[in-house]
Amino acid sequence: MAQAITDKDGVKRYLITLNVNGDAHTVLVKGNAILTNVLRDQLDLTGTKKGCELGDCGSCTVLLDGKPVDSCLVLAVEADGRQITTIEGVAANGRLDEIQQSMINHAAVQCGYCTPGMVLSAKALLTRNPNPSEQEVREAISGNLCRCTGYVHIVEAVMATAQGRVTPDDH
Amino acid sequence: MYVPDFEYHAPNTVAEACAILAELGDRATVLAGGTDVLHKMKVGKLTPEHLVSLKNLDELREIREEPGRVVIGALASHNQIYNSRLLQRRYLSLPLAAHTMASNQICNLGTVGGNIVNGVPSADLPPILIALDASIRLTSARGERTLPLEDFFYGSAQTRIEPGEILTEISIPDQQTTGSTYMKFGLRRSGALAVAAAAVSVQVSGDTLHGVRIVLASAAPTVLRVTAAERSLIGRRIDDELLTEAGNFAAQASRPRDSIRGSAEYRKNLVGVLTKRALRKAIEEGHA
Amino acid sequence: MSDNHSVIGRSVPRIDGPEKVSGAAKYTGDLKFPNMLYGKILTSPHAHARILSIDTSEAERLPGVKAVITHKDVPTLKYGLSPARWDESIFCSDKVRFVGDKVAAVACLDEDTCYKALKLIKVEYEVLPAVLDFLHAMDEGQPQVHEEYARNINTEIHQEFGDVEKALAEAHHVRTDTFVGQRTYQSPIEPHSAISMWDGGKLTIYSSTQSPHYFQHYIAREFDMPMGDVRIIKPYLGGGFGGKLEPTGLEFAGAVLAKLTGRPVRTFYDRAEMFAHNRGRHAQYMEITTGVDKNGKILAAKANFLMDGGAYTSLGIASAYYAGALLPLTYEFDNYQFDMFRVYTNLPACGAQRGHGAPQPKYAFESHLDNVAADLGIDPMDIRIINARRPNTVTPNDFRVNSCKIKECLERVRVMSDWDEKKKNLPLGRGIGVATGSFVTGAGYPIYRTDLPHAAAFIKVCEDGTAATLYTGSVDIGQGSDTVLCQMAAEAMGYRYEQMKIVAADTEITPLDFGAYASRQTYMSGAAVKQAGEEVKRQVLEMASVMLGLPAEDLDCADGQIFSKSRPGKSLSFEEVARKHFVLRGPLLGRGSYTPPKLGGNFKGAAVGTSPAYSFGAQVGEVAIDEETGEITVVGIWDVHDCGKVINPRLLHGQVHGALYMGMGEAVWEEVLFDDKGRIKNAELANYRLLTAVDMPPITSEVVDSYEPSGPWGVKEVGEGATNPTLGMFSNAIFDAMGVRVNSLPLSYEKVWRALKEKREREEDEARRKPEARRAEAPLETDGAMPVYANPS
């Protein structure tokens, strides 16, 4: 159980450590703090988006111990000590991951609001299943709603990544 | 949105959790995957003073085979069930039901225990578990008790769990059934609650049904086993007419209401269709 | 089309791609300013109620609350997006008119405190009877939503062109059908938010807006400020589709809260509040009559519509006019009558949603046309080709159509979809349907009356020529205008896309542009950008002429290279010439602006629907129906579009996919539902049911070779036009599969099931009564839960 600190008004806060994108962040959070908000407001990682806050849209997807979850349905205290990957952790040293490059190449990005969650869902799929079928790709991203693309180019981008067809400027 | 304030507890053992719950009584809500509890708290349907998190109780995540039964820890996530080689081999219908639950993100968070304890008639796992004759173990400071899952529900969101109790495991007994399946009808193909659903298990030899269980979701205020439909099938030769007749029995026994997902009349129709189709699939394809 | 363009016509990657895929792109709700507060609006829980009292004292005492405001603290000037009806207030003072109407607001130290504070504001209401059924809103004895609008009539339209009665009297076949369209909601994935801050007398608002200019205009008007003291900035924006076209309480209340506290205030809607603010598609009752000759040629059409406007006007007057104005575009006929009432109800206000006003009337007309074709025994594809509009024609309501390849679109989609084969061979339960669509390429007139140009742009070339920045007031809401306009700028300059930068949608830095609505930016903003680019190019060639000692007319510039047309080998780089220009002549700048020509006829409402150009398209869809459940499986969709010259093919097809996706949702899955108290029953995405990736069929999108003579490089619109055919296409495919027609949207599984059940019962009944006389295959008219309708006229 995380260490708890009570302020003069009797409000209890917990000292927790979130391992985000390889960095350990020790933060003080109230019990009711939602992981999405702690990432965005306390760690300034605003790539994790708020779309519905009820687990319906997938904009807030992060990888928790490698698995995609809706961070809007996770209390920050519940993520204490766990490994979290946000969209900011997908590109290594400023170099876009193949899935990110593929999303650009295939014009799979429009307004971009669903994109971080979409990238993380696709990344998690390709990590556990490097050769998915189109149906598996569609299922893996079915928790990420996109209002712009009809998913056509997104599915193409993920399939192209899986098939090793991503080049730096494939247009 | 906003989650109202509460006191947070994260016990390290089941015994510790039971002790906390015994002390807090109905002022506490148990937090497992959070997909239902936090959702309800955000929309103002639940305002517990205390949340008792089970996150540290790793022993409740296990899925294992024991003599005479398969045991599923209550904290096993839907994806854990979906991906379990053991369950895929023994009762594939259950992993497939878990897969129809919700999005990948929710399936990584949500737990089988939460799905059961939530008690809503649209829950996807209770019907197939009841069809497989599952029982559950409830643990509290007073001790443990086991009861058939079928007896657990008695009203919409009303279950026989008592203050202080934690659902710790689900067990599926070894059985004579030759097939089982869960068939769900949703208004889109992912992340949809059931408009109606039917789970069945069958025991077939030759062209005759010797045993059958038919359990409906989203068809009444509770998960509903339709014994009248089951009786109509036992010992009879399997043909389309028989299955249609069983579907009609199930539809008659169902008590759906009008909802934003469909009228009562439509849902009754779906119950009949799904029951018939689920029976056919279980008969023809085994536990799939 | 073969051409010698080096930048346009290529699928270059989006200019904002790297920022968006890496999570670096900042949307309004991602921005943080020192000392910033959080603001939220308290809304009405009642559909119609008188406000008796408001007590904010308890909320004010809550620690962390910095300001609580009501109607007493804000300007009382009524506002709206349509200047013909300003009927909305920042906060309600006398009564509330829908569940979600604005009553008060708070500014607090954090988000949680906002929610707690809202609960502490005590409002006493006297609940009034509410108008919830638009079909009866005009009836005697109905409550008045606004006292000043008798019988709840918000808009009334009666237009006639040609002689409809005469043409109908002479027609070989006359048919009338009625259809009902549902309320849908744009549902952008990014919720609205705004951050307001004051610096002395100057107000700056960061907002998720589709039109910084209209926001600036209306906010300045509301607060009685010069426009120059209001700055609107659009950061990255997560989708709009019409829902973010007008200023909301977030901007108005946010500005007041920021003023009172002297701190920046971020106001925001959560998902349920977005649904309540709404401004989505109107529900609509549509009666269509046409008369045709024996070949199916349309002689006259009559449209008699009724629209649910909700509690306020929003852009709804335009929606009402658009509903009828765009109907005579895809098919040619001379006699046309359009009657419309838009009524007030105690429900959220409706406005402009993708395809503004057109998709539902198009659904009705395309379904009706298939019924007519069935009556005459004509193939649905053929009846459309027979009636297809030709280029260089004028519609009966005086819209001039230049380029038009609707016939080619139909012929192509016929081949692509294997129409003729499928039409003959698909079994019962499988069906194929076709429909057409058309849309404006920008509105011919601005939303409020002004003689300002519709678009403007300038380009600044970096001192050493290694980059050029396009400054434009245009608004990238995801459709890709920043990318496309940079391509157009580079093309016009003779420059490289890869060296372009863009600053857009900041009213203080970028020149005027009306923004992202009516599918106007590629054409109108593009025209201004092209002009600006050409001005840069002219100066570069003049400078190069001096440097090379060659006449400027002999020089050209493409892809960053200046070369002599007559003497190969004589060349200079854009960079060195631009640098020299800066040294000798000062900053290298280009300017452009665009004003459409005077368009349209002289009748009342003639302006709505005018456009310098119209896109056209045809869609075919194939469906499979599960007869026992009504479930619809979409087997495939084929879309062929006439959208002029294509600047970026991949982005263009992305627009078609997205428009189709929205249309598909509206056709079968999406509907905003209300309970008997006027509360939305599904104000969340789980039950509003946006389609997921597993719901989408294979989609094939093609364009026909097309050139619009009035547009820059021949461009036209695509972003909204592809929504227009989709609803009717689904209706027709289901009709083809089952022989039953569902006459109301959405064409839900349950309605399809019910229609089939009723058909079966009718057939059984008939067979029982006169088994010998049973007709085999006549398609039956059934409707899925159609409301009873009292004719408004």
Give the pLDDT band of residue A166 (cuts 50, 70, 90). confident
Q: Is C189 within 8 Å of A106 when comparing Cβ atoms?
A: no
- Give the chains touching C; criterion: ≥3 Cβ pairs < 8 Å: A, B
Q: What is the pLDDT of residues A19-32, one digit of tens each?
A: 999 999 999 999 99
Which pLDDT does position C637 carry in this prediction?
Answer: 98
> Which residue among C237, C650, C660 sits closest to A111, beta carbon to beta carbon?
C237
Mean pLDDT of C298-327: 97
**CATH 3.10.20.30 domain extents, chain A:** 3-89
DSSP state of C157: E
Among all residues of chain B, which has the CA nearest to that of C671? Answer: B260
Mean pLDDT of B184-212: 96
Give the pLDDT band of residue A94 (cuts 50, 70, 90). confident
Instruction: Please check whether residue B109 touches A, CB under 8 A.
Output: yes
Domain spanning B179-285: CATH 1.10.150.120:
no
Mean pLDDT of C28-56: 98
Give the pLDDT band of residue C792 (cuts 50, 70, 90). very low
* Residue C245 · residue C212 · CB < 8 Å: no
Q: Is the dihedral of CA B117, B119, B122, B125 positive or negative?
A: positive
Report all structural domains of chain C as residue ranges with CATH numbers, in order of start: 17-25+454-594 (3.30.365.10), 31-128+190-238+244-277 (3.90.1170.50), 283-444+605-769 (3.30.365.10)
Helix, strand, or coil (residue B3): coil
What residue ranges do the domains of chain B occupy? 7-53, 58-173, 179-285
Would you say the CATH fold of B179-285 matches that of B7-53?
Answer: no
Residue C791 has pLDDT above 50, yes or no: no
Which pLDDT does position C785 carry in this prediction?
Answer: 38
Written as one letter, the residue type at C218 is Y
Q: Mark C302-329 as b/e (b = at least 16 C-beta within 10 Å).
A: bbbbbbbbbbbbbbbbbbbbbbbbbbbb
Q: What is the pLDDT of residues C508-538, one digit of tens each?
A: 999 999 999 999 999 999 999 999 999 999 9
Backbone conformation region of residue C494, classed left if phi is above 0, alpha if psi is from -120 to 50, else beta: left
**CATH 1.10.150.120 domain extents, chain A:** 98-162
**Pairing between strand B7-9 and B50-53?**
parallel
> What is d(CA B141, CA B32) in angstroms, rounded to the nearest whole number?
19
pTM score of the predicted model? 0.96
Which pLDDT does position C770 carry in this prediction?
Answer: 74
Q: What is A98-162's CATH topology?
A: DNA polymerase; domain 1 (1.10.150)
Q: What is the pLDDT of residues B24-55, one digit of tens each?
A: 999 999 999 999 999 999 999 999 999 999 99
DSSP state of B237: B
Which pLDDT does position C771 carry in this prediction?
Answer: 57
* Residue C76 · residue C93 · CB < 8 Å: yes
Q: What is the pLDDT of residues C370-407, one digit of tens each?
A: 999 999 999 999 999 999 999 999 999 999 999 999 99
Phi, psi of C417 (to 5 degrees): -90, -5
Q: What would the two tokens of residue B121 be?
A: 């008639």
Backbone conformation region of residue C604, classed left if phi is above 0, alpha if psi is from -120 to 50, else beta: beta
Chain B nearest-CA distance from C230, in A, is: 30
Which pLDDT does position A171 carry in this prediction?
Answer: 43
Residue C84 has pLDDT above 90, yes or no: no
- Give the chains touching A; criterion: ≥3 Cβ pairs < 8 Å: B, C
Mean pLDDT of C485-512: 98
The architecture (CATH level 2) of B7-53 comes to 2-Layer Sandwich (3.30)
Which residues of A fall within a CB distance of 8 Å from C190?
Answer: 49, 51, 111, 113
Mean pLDDT of C657-665: 98
Beta-carbon count within 10 A of A28 CB: 16
- Tell which of A59, A62, A69 to mutate to test the B interface (max B CBs under 10 Å): A69
Which pLDDT does position C775 carry in this prediction?
Answer: 47
Q: Is A151 within 8 Å of C271 when comparing Cβ atoms?
A: no
Mean pLDDT of C438-445: 97
Instruction: Please check whether residue B240 touches C, CB under 8 A.
Output: no
Helix, strand, or coil (residue C202): strand
Instruction: Please check whether residue A91 touches B, CB under 8 A.
Output: no
Residues sharing a CB contact under 8 Å with residue C513, sequence separation 6 or more, in sequence order: C213, C454, C455, C456, C457, C472, C473, C474, C475, C505, C521, C524, C525, C528
Residue C1 has pLDDT above 50, yes or no: no
Helix, strand, or coil (residue B163): coil
Give the pLDDT band of residue A2 (cuts 50, 70, 90). confident
CATH of B58-173, one of 3.30.2390.10, 3.40.50.12280, 3.30.465.10, 1.20.58.390: 3.30.465.10
How many Å from the N-terminal Cα to the C-terminal Cα in chain A?
52
* Residue B101 · residue B78 · CB < 8 Å: yes
Which pLDDT does position A163 carry in this prediction?
Answer: 93
Phi, psi of C529 (to 5 degrees): -65, -40
Residue C2 has pLDDT above 80, yes or no: no
Residue C777 has pLDDT above 80, yes or no: no
Among all residues of chain A, which has the CA nearest to that of B99? Answer: A139
Which residues of B fall within a CB distance of 8 Å from A14?
Answer: 8
C-alpha distance from residue C58 to each of A93, B76, B207, B263, C672 (Å): 51, 45, 73, 44, 35
Among all residues of chain C, which has the CA nearest to that of A169? Answer: C13
The number of C-beta contacts closer than 8 angstroms across A and B is: 89
Residue C788 has pLDDT above 70, yes or no: no
Chain C nearest-CA distance from A3, in A, is: 23
Mean pLDDT of C783-791: 38
Among all residues of chain C, which has the CA nearest to that of A102? Answer: C21
Q: What is the pLDDT of residues C708-759, one digit of tens each?
A: 999 999 999 999 999 999 999 999 999 999 998 999 999 999 999 999 999 9
Residue B66 has pLDDT above 70, yes or no: yes
**CATH, range A3-89:** 3.10.20.30
Residue C789 has pLDDT above 90, yes or no: no
Q: What is the pLDDT of residues C449-473, one digit of tens each?
A: 999 999 999 999 999 999 999 999 9
Which pLDDT does position C772 carry in this prediction?
Answer: 56
> What is d(CA C752, CA C623) in angstroms, rounded to the nearest whole number?
12
Mean pLDDT of C163-191: 98
DSSP state of C312: S
